[in-house]
Amino acid sequence: MSGPLLELRGLEAGFGRRSVLRGVDLSLAAGETLVIAGPNGSGKTTLLKTAAGIIRPLSGKVFVEGRDGGLLSKKEWALRRAYIFQAAFPSWPFTVYETVSQGRHFRKGEGGGKDAVERAVAAAGLEGFEDRPVTELSGGEYQRTLVARAMAQEAKILILDEPCASLDPGYRVMVMDLLGKMTGEGAAVMISLHDLDLAVRYADRAVLLYGGTVHASGAPGDIFGEGNLTGIF
């Protein structure tokens, strides 16, 4: 399709009647990485959950591949976007293979599921880990497992909430390199990051949230300059 894969128009979002975000306009194109940054409480998680269809907007619209997200079913959302939340330590000892296979839930019956899971495991550098319970993985290995699950889902849009938080620098780079492989194959990535060095290195565009509104938007090197950050972080 032509045009953005994901578009937010005049978005106001929050919980109940409490507005957290106001007047947000964003778009995300195929092959693009868009970083969402801002201090704690600026609305990053609310923005990502609304963009992923988990929270309904208070006003405004979310368009997914040109369609009104408010009219999409749960399955239609799952076929179009994958969402990776802020990962706590896993509670259930599913194996790596079982966890990655969960990405195929809404694609059962399509065929090619086993191949898709095996490709995702290999791309994430998890070969040899297939039978290991996720409760026995390091933080970086578990994050790569979650990204592999999203790859197996074969959605065009990937939305991630702080996937590099609490990871060692080497694992942060591994996760971002893996996401780069996905955008290189035409996926679109929207990701929140606290690590602004990673944002400058990997993002095509960046948005800086402050007080529930878009404070700045553009090239990462410009957005994260000292002038925009003074008094924010």
DSSP per position, 11-48: EEEEETTEEEEEEEEEEE-TT-EEEEE--TTSSHHHHH
With contact defined as beta carbons under 8 Å apart, do 33 and 189 qualify? yes
Task: Give me the sheet containing 18-28, strands edge to edge.
Answer: 18-28, 6-15, 59-64, 67-68
Confidence of residue 49 (pLDDT cuts 50, 70, 90): very high
Q: What is the pLDDT of residue 72?
A: 96
Looking at residues 183-201, what average pLDDT do you find? 94
Comparison of pLDDT for 53 and 231, the residue scoring more = 53
Domains held by the chain: number: 1
At which residue do the structure tokens 């092959």 appear? 31
pLDDT beyond 70 at 233:
no
With contact defined as beta carbons under 8 Å apart, do 32 and 156 qualify? no
* Tens digit of each residue's pLDDT (9 = 90 or more) over 115-174: 999 999 998 999 999 999 999 998 889 989 999 999 999 999 999 999 888 788 888 898
Q: 0.75 exceeded by the pTM?
A: yes
Residues of the chain with pLDDT > 70: what percent?
A: 97
Pairing verdict, β 6-15 and 18-28: antiparallel
Find how far residue 207's CA is from the centre of its chain: 14
Q: Which of 20-24, 89-93, 175-179, 227-231 has the lowest mean pLDDT?
A: 227-231
Q: What is the pLDDT of residue 16?
A: 81
Confidence of residue 108 (pLDDT cuts 50, 70, 90): confident
Residue 78 lies in a domain: yes
pLDDT beyond 80 at 199:
yes
Residue 10 lies in a domain: yes
Residue 21 lies in a domain: yes
Domain span at 179: 6-87+156-229
Residue 17 lies in a domain: yes
Q: What is the pLDDT of residue 56?
A: 94
Confidence of residue 230 (pLDDT cuts 50, 70, 90): confident
Q: What is the pLDDT of residue 214?
A: 95
Residue 107 lies in a domain: no
Residue 88 is given by DSSP the state P
The domain that holds 74 is classified in CATH as 3.40.50.300
pLDDT beyond 70 at 1:
no
Residue 23 lies in a domain: yes
Residue 212 lies in a domain: yes
Residue 199 lies in a domain: yes
Q: What is the pLDDT of residue 36?
A: 97
Looking at residues 30-36, what average pLDDT do you find? 97
